[in-house]
Amino acid sequence: MNIGVIIPLVIFLIGIFAIGFIASKQMSGEGGFLQQYFLGGRELGGFVLAMTMVATYGSASSFLGGPGTAYTVGFGWILLAMTQVVTGYFVLLILGKKFAILGRKYNAVTMIDFLKVRYNSPLVAILSAIAIIVFLFSAMTAQWVGGGRLIESLTGLQYTTALFIFAISVLVYVTIGGFRAVALTDAVQGAVMVIGTLVLLIGVIIAGGGVPAIMQDLINENPRLVTPYGADGTLTAAYVSSFWILVGVGVVGLPQMAVRAMSYKSSRAMHRALVIGTIVTGFIMLNMHLIGVFARPIMPGIDIGDKVIPLVALEVLPPWLAGVVLAAPMAAIMSTVDSLLLLVSSAIVKDVYLNFIKPDASETTVKRMSFGVTGILGIIVFLFALQPPDLLIFLNLFAFGGLEAAFIWPVVLGLYWKYGNKYGAILSMITGIVAYIAIHFYNTANGNLLGVHTVTIPVVLSFVAYIIGSIAIERKAFRY
């Protein structure tokens, strides 16, 4: 066990716990417990909003799986990853003021609250809750695995023990502090991610003898590593451009991002977040994936992509600095998993229990349910994560694609097209989910259908289904 690496990480975790505790003390009664616990009282400023969006989106895939894949595939994967730069911009630009205004008007605490009122349909709410619970379990499992593997790499502890430490760390501050704790810790974690990325990039470039030397080593090994087409030439223009739907504009349909678009306090805060979020996302995505490629000549032969970043940090930096830098991927993983945990908890407590089981539950009961469900969910995900897959990114992307196919059109067209109705929303969600799962398994067995990413065809089909369902059945304008 490397004590020099462990100490900075322990200090980081203590700091996160302290923020969670302070956030729990700041929860006021204004707006009720649900508004405070699941939405932070709609009081986020521009910087915190930007950083919580960046930190929520920047996950184990961004800091471990993505750079690990760039290590294997080369510069082509960096080009593909850069399509994510505009993610936060698109989310706030498309949902923007209208989503926040309607969220307040409908007293919506979750995205499902908004959909339920917009479409006046319990079935839309039930389908949404099922989709969130099923797909976000996959995403949470991927993050849990990433956290466990990171601690395992740093400490030498067994994976199960490392996973247990990670799970306890997240559960403590999420259960106590709710959304406010998640947003505040996201802001700190986002700053740690930026600093860690910069320090590690400098360390890798110095260790590799400078950028020209690293590039020459890559060309000597395989000239395709520095082309847009990948080490084996499989990254086609159709695949890269369609990948943008998954990690760019399609993110509008992710519940964990949409809920943040209703949590800011003013339009000024939203505009600041647009600028800050786009710059920070671009910085992190570009440089973390560059680190993944640059690590290849320095440490050739790493078999498990998820271990590239921890191993190269330990190789090129002093132990204490490696500990500081590796707090960045730890921050990324924790900031994503805490958001997902709270989102699934809200889907169960707010969207299922309060809507359909006990609408007249007292605030004390709701508090106990929220704390209890959050804790139990964490334990269940821990059990799922005990048998991890080799590469995190594909499990994570499976969950992202499923949610985008389910929600993008009911959310976006529900905001901007007055003739969209519950029949269109239900047909779109079912079509998107079924098509995504079917095409995922088809592509796994036969290669990508039409050469495009798995999410592309389901998103197109769910759009067509929304239009047909809305026009063909009960065409009636909605009054916002």
- For residue 359, what pLDDT is reported? 82
Q: Which residue has the tokens 């469900």?
A: 373
φ, ψ for residue 42, nearest 5 deg: 55, 50
- In DSSP terms, which residues pair with 427 in a beta bridge? none
Helix or strand or coil: residue 44?
strand
Query: 199 by DSSP, 3-state: which?
Result: helix
What are the tokens at 33? 């417990």
pTM: 0.77
- How far apart are the C-alpha atoms of 145 and 381, rounded to whole Å? 10
**pLDDT of 37-85, one tens digit each?**
666 666 677 777 787 777 766 666 777 888 999 999 999 999 888 887 8
CA pair distance 183, 338, nearest whole angstrom: 9
Which position has the token pair 């989910």? 433
User: Which pLDDT does position 14 carry in this prediction?
Assistant: 82
Q: Which residues contact 238 (CB under 8 A, 6 or more apart)?
A: 450, 451, 452
Give the position of tokens 């990114």: 393
Q: For residues 13-29, b (16+ Cβ closer than 10 Å) or e, as one string? A: beebbebbeebbeebee
pLDDT of residue 453: 84
Instruction: Please say whether the dihedral angle defined by the alpha carbons of residues 457, 459, 464 and 466, taken in this order, is positive or negative.
Output: positive
DSSP string, 261-293: GG-BS-HHHHHHHHHHHHHHHHHHHHHHHHHHH
The pLDDT, as a whole number, for residue 100 is 83
- The pLDDT of residue 432 is 92
Phi, psi of 264 (to 5 degrees): -85, 160
Residue 398 neighbours by CB under 8 Å, 6+ apart: 138, 440
Q: How far apart are CA 80 and CA 318, in angstroms?
A: 32
Neighbour count for residue 261 (Cβ, 10 Å): 26
Query: So what's the pLDDT on residue 358?
Result: 84
Both structure tokens of 83: 């399509």
Query: Treating both helix axes as pointing N-terminal to C-terminal, what angle do 456-472 and 237-247 enclose, rounded to 10 degrees?
Result: 60
**Torsion-angle region of residue 88: left (phi > 0), alpha (psi -120 to 50) or beta?**
alpha
CA distances from 275 to 46, 93, 119, 269, 457 (A): 9, 11, 33, 10, 31
Structure tokens that stand for 2 in this block: 């490397």
Structural tokens at position 225 = 């590593």
Cross-strand bridge partners of residue 6: none
Strand partners, 354: none
Euclidean distance between CA atoms 11 and 340, whole angstroms:
24
Separation between Cα atoms, residue 333 and residue 163, nearest integer Å: 12
Question: Could you tell me if 27 and 247 are in contact, meaning their C-beta atoms sit under 8 angstroms apart?
Answer: no
Tokens of 36: 């405070």
- Integer angstrom CA distances of residue 6 from 19, 202, 315: 20, 22, 15
**Rounded to an integer, what distance in angstroms lies between the CA atom of residue 242 and that of residue 219?**
28
Torsion of CA 292, 298, 302, 308, to 10 degrees: -40
Query: 453 and 460 in contact (C-beta within 8 Å)?
Result: no
Check: CB of residue 206 under 8 Å from CB of residue 214: no
Ranges under pLDDT 50 in the chain: none
- The pLDDT value recorded for residue 32 is 62
Return the DSSP state at 40: G
Region for residue 235 given its phi and psi (left: phi exceeds 0; alpha: psi -120 to 50; beta: otherwise): beta
Residue located via tokens 């400023």: 45
Query: Residues 408-465: pLDDT tens digits?
Result: 999 999 999 999 999 999 999 999 989 988 998 898 888 888 888 888 999 999 999 9
pLDDT for res 136: 78
How confident is the model at residue 198, as a pLDDT? 92
| Structure token digits, residue 474 | 């009960």
- Residues linked to residue 189 through DSSP beta bridges, in sequence order: none
Q: What is the pLDDT of residue 304?
A: 79
